[in-house]
A and B are shown apart, each in its own frame.
Chain A
Amino acid sequence: MRGLLLLAALLACLFVSVMIGEAPVKLAEGFQALLGQGSDLNRQIIWELRLPRALLAIIIGAGLGASGAALQGYTRNELAAPGILGFSACAALGAVLALYFGLSGWVTPAALLGAALGALLILAMTGLKKGSDVLILAGVGIGALATAVTGLVMNFAPNPWALSEIIYWMMGSLRHADMGALFIAGPLTALGLSCLWFIGKDLKTLSLGEVTAQSLGVSLGRVQIILVAGVALCVGSGVAIAGAIGFVGLFVPHIIRMMFGADPAKLILRSALGGGLFLLLADIAVRLMSGPGTTLYLGILTSLIGVPFFLWLVVREVRS
């Protein structure tokens, strides 16, 4: 029921997002274009620019939200976020390397490759011992290394243009969103979300502690592999398309938990919906606030509007 509420809000915002923008397309015209009628230009604006961008915002937000929820469930630590497994940093390193070598067209595949390598490295390390403590330590270590190497690459940036390209990319944006990006991020995120949904029940059992969960038939090793794969797919594809986007993975699960309850199994899909909704709203705000000459970056805005809302929820929670 509550999931349906989120879904309805998401669809409403999707409609709003497609109907607004810089190009002067009236509501009636936009609606016509959405149905495949009206002028070619309007159809192109709606179908090839606005819709892919809005859908990508939803997909990437959903991947980040669900990843955060799954990681918080697995580690039983509410401070866990997709960032702690280091995949965003690894994906960012891949992208930054591509930008460093002037290969702008290779940013997405390089970022995906970075995330995949990060995931393999983590699985190799956690093969030594199953359990959330090893997973977190390995993730934090690998992430820190990737961040350091990213810093090194920026340090040796060949020219100011490459450096500014890297910095802007790291602030996160959906301005490169198109159908091609949608066809990359869509299937990968769908696969990642399926992985995370699949382990939802096990995460709930894990709230009783790792040993008790094992006694109830949960295989820690299997859960861990599926979790790492799911997060790597969601975060890797998200970062590859939109750059670094903070806040969503850490705070959206909290917001969903405070508003809808804490069941770790249900939290994953709800956080996916919540993350999608949140990033879509943030992108609408970015587009409304950016004018000619000024471009606001999504990664900055997510934190700017997300954190005050989150703090308000915390205050409300503490007061009650």
Chain B
Amino acid sequence: MTRLRAQNIKAGYGPCDVIADLSVAAEPGQLIALIGPNGSGKSTLIKALAGLLPIRSGGIYLDDMNMVDIPVRLRAKRMAYLAQERLAQAVMTVREILELGRAPYRGRLGQISDAGEAAINRAVEAAQLRDFLPRKFGQLSGGEQARVLMGRALAVDADILLADEPIAALDPYYQIAMMDILKAEAARGKTVITALHDLSLAHQYADIVWVMDEGELKHMGDASRVLTPEVLKSVFRLTAQNFEKLFFWN
């Protein structure tokens, strides 16, 4: 199990730094919800933590290993990343897509090992994909596609799972299904970090909430402690009236 830590990192695109001087740590077994307004830097942080966006200063550490010293292939085995865009070839079968999760373990001619088969099987069970295996990706509904790609990320069986808004544009049934999967992964001792826009699901599921705004982590801690009306109103720039509309049931 792996602890993921970022220290004074700076990252961005082109001339702009999206996140500057950010430090944070994620412990194994935690489900961490990363919330914040659009454009606050959630996706950038997730990509940087996953090693997919070069950081401009500072360091990211897996336990005590600096990310820049870890070979790409090894990093790919230790960290799984689930992109916000749900891309896959429409004609590929679900089974083929899940197999891609084992890419870091396979050579040019390599077959999937027994451990790989076990990881795929576990992903199939966790994401409830048994009945979908022979189906083509293009024939599935949006929610089913999301679950398949989640299964692909689980098939990596990495210690750390970083998911960028995995429940965006899903109906409540699939939102809950996806959050259940993430929760179960955390319960297995994985470090799970997910960007979310649904604050009530963040409240329900997350052990820890990171609140991001303007490239900084403004608040961190237990969901019940962080997700207060004051924090939400200030970060999401909500008036008292808007707040009532959003959380009318509270």
Chain A contact residues, CB within 8 Å of chain B: 198, 200-201, 204-205, 207-209, 211-212, 214-219, 261-264
> Closest approach, in angstroms, between the C-beta of B80 and any C-beta of chain A?
7
Q: Tell me whether A216 and B52 are in contact (CB under 8 A).
A: no
Q: In the docked arrangement, what's the CA distance between A201 and B108, Å?
A: 7
> Closest approach, in angstroms, between the C-beta of A226 and any C-beta of chain B?
12
Q: Does B156 contact A (CB under 8 A)?
A: yes
Q: Tell me whether A207 and B89 are in contact (CB under 8 A).
A: yes
Chain B contact residues, CB within 8 Å of chain A: 47, 50-52, 72-73, 75-77, 79-83, 85, 87-89, 91-92, 96-97, 100-101, 103-104, 106, 108, 149, 152, 156
Q: Which residues of chain B come closer than 8 Å to A201, judged between CB atoms?
A: 103, 106, 108
Chosen A-B contacts, 19 in total, with CB atoms closer than 8 Å, are: A200-B108, A207-B92, A208-B83, A208-B88, A208-B100, A208-B149, A211-B81, A212-B81, A214-B72, A215-B50, A215-B52, A215-B76, A215-B81, A216-B100, A217-B77, A217-B103, A218-B103, A263-B92, A264-B89
Q: Tell me whether A216 and B108 are in contact (CB under 8 A).
A: no
> Closest approach, in angstroms, between the C-beta of B45 and any C-beta of chain A?
14
Contact of A205 among B52, B73, B83, B100 (CB under 8 A): B100
Q: In the docked arrangement, what's the CA distance between A218 and B52, Å?
A: 11
- B101 nearest in chain A by CB position: A216
Q: In the docked arrangement, what's the CA distance between A215 and B96, Å?
A: 17
> Closest approach, in angstroms, between the C-beta of A267 and any C-beta of chain B?
11
Q: Which residues of chain B come closer than 8 Å to A212, judged between CB atoms?
A: 81-83, 87
Q: Which residues of chain A come closer than 8 Å to B152, judged between CB atoms?
A: 208
> Closest approach, in angstroms, between the C-beta of B111 and any C-beta of chain A?
12
> Closest approach, in angstroms, between the C-beta of A130 and any C-beta of chain B?
11
> Closest approach, in angstroms, between the C-beta of B42 and any C-beta of chain A?
15
- B96 nearest in chain A by CB position: A263
Q: Tell me whether B103 and A211 are in contact (CB under 8 A).
A: no
Q: Which residues of chain B come closer than 8 Å to A219, judged between CB atoms?
A: 72
Q: In the docked arrangement, what's the CA distance between A217 and B110, Å?
A: 15
- A257 nearest in chain B by CB position: B91
Q: In the docked arrangement, what's the CA distance between A53 and B77, Å?
A: 48
Q: In the docked arrangement, what's the CA distance between A262 and B89, Å?
A: 9
Q: Which residues of chain B come closer than 8 Å to A218, judged between CB atoms?
A: 103
- A204-B100, A217-B75 given; A262·B83 CB < 8 A: no
> Closest approach, in angstroms, between the C-beta of A317 and any C-beta of chain B?
11
- B156 nearest in chain A by CB position: A216
Q: Tell me whether B103 and A261 are in contact (CB under 8 A).
A: no
- A219 nearest in chain B by CB position: B72
Q: Which residues of chain A come closer than 8 Å to B92, judged between CB atoms?
A: 207, 262-263
Q: Which residues of chain B come closer than 8 Å to A205, judged between CB atoms?
A: 100, 103
- A198 nearest in chain B by CB position: B108
Q: In the docked arrangement, what's the CA distance between A279 and B52, Å?
A: 42
Q: In the docked arrangement, what's the CA distance between A200 and B52, Å?
A: 22
Using A209-B87, A211-B47, A215-B50 as known contacts, list a sample of 13 further A-B pairs with CB atoms less than 8 Å apart, ordered by residue number in A. A201-B106, A207-B87, A207-B100, A208-B83, A208-B100, A208-B149, A214-B52, A216-B103, A216-B104, A216-B156, A217-B76, A263-B96, A264-B89
> Closest approach, in angstroms, between the C-beta of B131 and any C-beta of chain A?
22
Q: Tell me whether B104 and A209 are in contact (CB under 8 A).
A: no
Q: Tell me whether B52 and A211 are in contact (CB under 8 A).
A: yes
Q: Which residues of chain A come closer than 8 Å to B97, judged between CB atoms?
A: 208
Q: In the docked arrangement, what's the CA distance between A133 and B178, Å?
A: 32
Q: Which residues of chain A come closer than 8 Å to B100, judged between CB atoms?
A: 204-205, 207-208, 216
Q: In the docked arrangement, what's the CA distance between A214 and B79, Å?
A: 11
- A261 nearest in chain B by CB position: B91
- A207-B89, A261-B91, A262-B89 given; A217·B73 CB < 8 A: yes
Q: In the docked arrangement, what's the CA distance between A209 and B164, Å?
A: 14
Q: Which residues of chain A come closer than 8 Å to B51, judged between CB atoms?
A: 215
> Closest approach, in angstroms, between the C-beta of B231 and any C-beta of chain A?
30
Q: In the docked arrangement, what's the CA distance between A205 and B97, Å?
A: 9
Q: Which residues of chain B come closer than 8 Å to A209, judged between CB atoms?
A: 83, 85, 87
Q: In the docked arrangement, what's the CA distance between A256 and B48, Å?
A: 39
> Closest approach, in angstroms, between the C-beta of A28 and any C-beta of chain B?
43
Q: Which residues of chain B come closer than 8 Å to A214, judged between CB atoms?
A: 52, 72
Q: In the docked arrangement, what's the CA distance between A262 and B136, Å?
A: 12
Q: Which residues of chain A come closer than 8 Å to B77, judged between CB atoms?
A: 217
> Closest approach, in angstroms, between the C-beta of A254 and any C-beta of chain B?
12
Q: Which residues of chain B come closer than 8 Å to A261, judged between CB atoms?
A: 91
Contact of A215 among B80, B85, B91 (CB under 8 A): B80
Q: In the docked arrangement, what's the CA distance between A264 and B103, Å?
A: 14
- A201 nearest in chain B by CB position: B108
Q: Which residues of chain B come closer than 8 Å to A208, judged between CB atoms?
A: 83, 87-88, 97, 100, 149, 152
